[in-house]
Structure 1
Amino acid sequence: MRYLQSLLLMLLLGLPTAMPAVAAPSQDDAVAVATRLLDHMEAGEYEAASADFSPQMKAALGADKLAAVQQQLAAAGAQTGRDAPTVSEQSGMTVVVVRIHREQASVDATIAVDGDGKVAGLHYAPAAEPAAAAPAVDANAGYSERDFAVGSGKRALPGTLAMPDAAGADHRVAAVVLVHGSGPHDRDESIGPNRPFLDIARGLAAQGIAVLRFDKRSKARPQDYADGKVTIDSETTDDAVAAVAALREAPGIDPARVFVLGHSQGAMMAPRIAARSGHVAGLVLLAAPARPLLDILVEQNIRLAVLDDGKTSDAEAAAIARLKGQVAAIRAGGKVAIADSPMNQPADYWRSTEAVDPVAEAKAVALPMLVLQGAQDIQVVDADWQRWKGGFHDDPKVEFKLYPTLNHLGMAVEGEQGPAQYQQPGHVDPSLIADVAGWIQAQAAD
């Protein structure tokens, strides 16, 4: 799931994609405007914060909405500092990006200042840290890694194939495509200092199973969504289907034994990926939602509001009420502006998620499945686990494993529950990886 986006906020007016050709303000002036805005926001002076807004911004973001945003930011702890701003010119505006550090997370504030010196765009998002290169594979690991593209041409997505040493023309191996949770993930599904897909890929490869992981389109090629048209399928399904097809053709891979392992939203979409591919041997679902994502999003915000102090503040209640109103607007079927849509995603995106019924779609494909859940997961919870069990408890092709100490990432929880746990370095539990390897090998032997 979008762990910081759903835990903090990330909703405001997006930056315009095109503006009239007018002179951009000086960088110094734009930085002064941005600094003044952020100072007022942190001080709780929301009327003053909007003083430099353009007329369109004032219409979209009143003091009440700014207050709700700041309250959600505060859920990540007190502000501990800001980095020096970075400045660029885009479409006749000067764009200022300021990284704000809080106790539990860092956030990038992007402020666009127009030629009149007014704030024409404001966007908060979890800080995007450049991922360090993955450590080299040990020479005695029993597998190697190589670059592997998903798709062709300029729209191809970069990936990595972990291939067991034993694979070859005379010994074709089973293989897995990893499918990310929601949000713009890299191929390792990097979340804070953790890389769950790197752990899973190398753990399975060491046990003789090839694994393909690739950068998600929203991470590698966000420009492909510049027209604002994005659905759950263009974000997840289509590229995963292409990954399955590409992997089946790779030398040393048994095309009849290609599996899909989906995490979180990727697990929710795995049955659809299998249906559209027609060439998937089985599914591994890790932390799989079984209910509508919009319902889960509301639940997450309610749950997280009380994690810090056991109660919901007035500001938190107002933010939750606003989110519920946004969800109702999406479900009503009319036109919904980006600024009034959950998490600043287009209405069509959310409506495409509403059409997904993962349990029903899994029943339709009727494939072998291994369903995995951490009991300490605060994002995909017991209600989802029970719905999967209720749908398949009597299906001999489906196995379930519940891990009492593991969280949403398949890692052991240390300390209190909450968003801070994702900033604690860890690794996917080896027993979970061993369970996946054993299950795949058992399917391959049938």
Structure 2
Amino acid sequence: MADEKIVIGAETKYPLHGILTLPNENHRLFPAVVLVQGSGPSNMDEKIGNNYPFKDIAEGLSEKGIAVLRYDKRTFVYGKEMKNDTGLTVKEETMEDAILAADFLRKDARIDSSKIFILGHSLGGMLAPRIDAEGGNFAGFIILGGSPRKLEEIIMDQNHLVLNSLNKFLKMIAKKQIAKLSSRFQNIYNLSDEEAKSTVIFGKHSRAYYFKEMGEHPSTDYLKVLNKPILILQGDKDFQVSVEKDFNGYKNLLGDKPNVTFKRYANLNHLFMPAVYGDILKAKKEYNVAQHVDKQVISDISDWIFSI
């Protein structure tokens, strides 16, 4: 296994450092995977607490003969410059760089250009079908802990999950805050683009336009018409997306399609690591426990890629 330091988007305004992990053999062309992170600023290893899921996946897949490309997320490197961009969307935050990464791999003589896949985790998985449609042109998709729902629906569900875990006094305060957030989300599609750009949803920089633009390109629209191979994975102790609404939501949408494979894992959390607390209120504590992506998950991804 060899790690090569690379730069994605070297000719653009936002060059990003990355690593291409290559199998330790040279007698054939390698299938390859582009890794796309979840929401928020994230480095190339997708470091969350004391865990490095993308490093685990890159090393695990390359040991099995698959090249893997990972890179820092644009908001991780250029967050300060980008936070005041009221027109920021998932395109600038995530999609453009994933397409550049696919192009980068296609130019590498060691890679089988007909076998370049996208692996999206969480928000990255939600965006994978749109990334493909807008220029990624992948051979297939691996969606880890993703959702066919809109981002704001997932955020509201996470808030209600927290609400139900609070004591009476805190519940009263939180209820008002959640009701306010809910009404803001409900109104975003009534706003013009310009109004949405000037409307803050929460925090200082989270604008309605980000959610509006993404919501107007729902992943379901892309998934329904896709005939490319899709692998959808979820841990059943994931408290950030729901087995019932998200994993089963994919099944309801795509369950009868022969191109889609589903796999659910007992006792794994959102990082596809063993659940520690399994409680959204203890998310920080959970992710501070250093662990590794379950080996079975890596084997299943590898077997699926080689079956295509």
In the superposition, the TM-score normalised over structure 1's length comes to 0.64
Aligned residue type for 1:408: H
* Aligned equivalents of 2:55, 2:168: Cα separation in 1: 35
Is the aligned partner of 1:163 residue 2:163?
Answer: no
* Aligned equivalents of 2:197, 2:253: Cα separation in 1: 37
Aligned residue type for 2:239: I
Percentage of identical aligned residues: 35
* Aligned equivalents of 2:279, 2:85: Cα separation in 1: 38
Deviation at 1:275, TM superposition (A): 1.3
* Aligned equivalents of 1:363, 1:243: Cα separation in 2: 25
CA RMSD of aligned residues (A): 1.9
Cα pair distance change 1:297/1:415, threshold 3 Å: closer
Cα pair distance change 1:441/1:337, threshold 3 Å: closer
Q: Which of 179, 201, 210 matches 1:341?
A: 201
SS state of the match for residue 439, structure 1? helix
Cα pair distance change 1:226/1:311, threshold 3 Å: closer
Q: How does 1:371-410 map to 2 (within 5 A)?
A: 371-381=232-242, 382-410=244-272
SS state of the match for residue 164, structure 2? helix
* Aligned equivalents of 1:310, 1:203: Cα separation in 2: 46
SS state of the match for residue 372, structure 1? strand
* Aligned equivalents of 2:277, 2:156: Cα separation in 1: 25
Deviation at 1:347, TM superposition (A): 1.9
* Aligned equivalents of 1:311, 1:203: Cα separation in 2: 47
Is the aligned partner of 1:423 residue 2:288?
Answer: yes
The answer on whether the counterparts of 2:87 and 2:197 sit within 8 Å (CA) in structure 1 is no
Deviation at 1:310, TM superposition (A): 8.7
Deviation at 1:183, TM superposition (A): 0.5
Encode CA deviations 1:334-379: one digit per residue, 9 max, x unaligned: 5257674134412211111211321321232321010001111111
Deviation at 1:441, TM superposition (A): 0.9
Cα pair distance change 1:247/1:290, threshold 3 Å: same
Is the aligned partner of 1:243 residue 2:101?
Answer: yes
* Aligned equivalents of 1:215, 1:278: Cα separation in 2: 18
Aligned residue type for 2:161: R
Cα pair distance change 1:349/1:415, threshold 3 Å: closer
Query: Aligned residue pairs: how many?
Result: 299
Encode CA deviations 1:293-328: one digit per residue, 9 max, x unaligned: 111111101101223559961111111112112212
The answer on whether the counterparts of 1:305 and 1:311 sit within 8 Å (CA) in structure 2 is no
Kindly name which structure, 1 or 2, has the bigger radius of gyration based on alpha carbons: 1
* Aligned equivalents of 2:169, 2:230: Cα separation in 1: 39
Residue 189 of structure 1 corresponds to: 46
Consecutive unaligned residues of structure 2, counting only runs of 5 or more, are: none
Cα pair distance change 1:363/1:329, threshold 3 Å: closer
Cα pair distance change 1:180/1:161, threshold 3 Å: same
Aligned residue type for 1:145: D
Aligned residue type for 2:250: W
Residue 324 of structure 1 corresponds to: 182
Is the aligned partner of 1:173 residue 2:30?
Answer: yes
Cα pair distance change 1:336/1:175, threshold 3 Å: closer
Cα pair distance change 1:317/1:356, threshold 3 Å: same
Consecutive unaligned residues of structure 1, counting only runs of 5 or more, are: 1-142
Cα pair distance change 1:311/1:356, threshold 3 Å: farther
Residue 221 of structure 1 corresponds to: 78
Aligned residue type for 2:152: L
Is the aligned partner of 1:314 residue 2:184?
Answer: no
Deviation at 1:191, TM superposition (A): 0.6
Cα pair distance change 1:366/1:199, threshold 3 Å: same
Residue 35 of structure 1 corresponds to: none
Q: How does 1:71-110 map to 2 (within 5 A)?
A: none
Deviation at 1:416, TM superposition (A): 4.6
The answer on whether the counterparts of 1:282 and 1:367 sit within 8 Å (CA) in structure 2 is yes
Encode CA deviations 1:144-192: one digit per residue, 9 max, x unaligned: 101111112352111001001213xx51100000001010010001011
The answer on whether the counterparts of 2:238 and 2:278 sit within 8 Å (CA) in structure 1 is no
Residue 67 of structure 2 corresponds to: 210
* Aligned equivalents of 1:270, 1:196: Cα separation in 2: 18
Q: How does 1:125-164 map to 2 (within 5 A)?
A: 143-153=1-11, 154-164=13-23
Larger % of helix: which? Answer: 2
Q: Which of 57, 79, 83 matches 1:200?
A: 57
SS state of the match for residue 20, structure 2? strand
Aligned residue type for 1:439: W
Aligned residue type for 2:94: T
Cα pair distance change 1:160/1:230, threshold 3 Å: same
Aligned residue type for 1:189: E
Q: Which of 370, 374, 379 matches 2:231?
A: 370
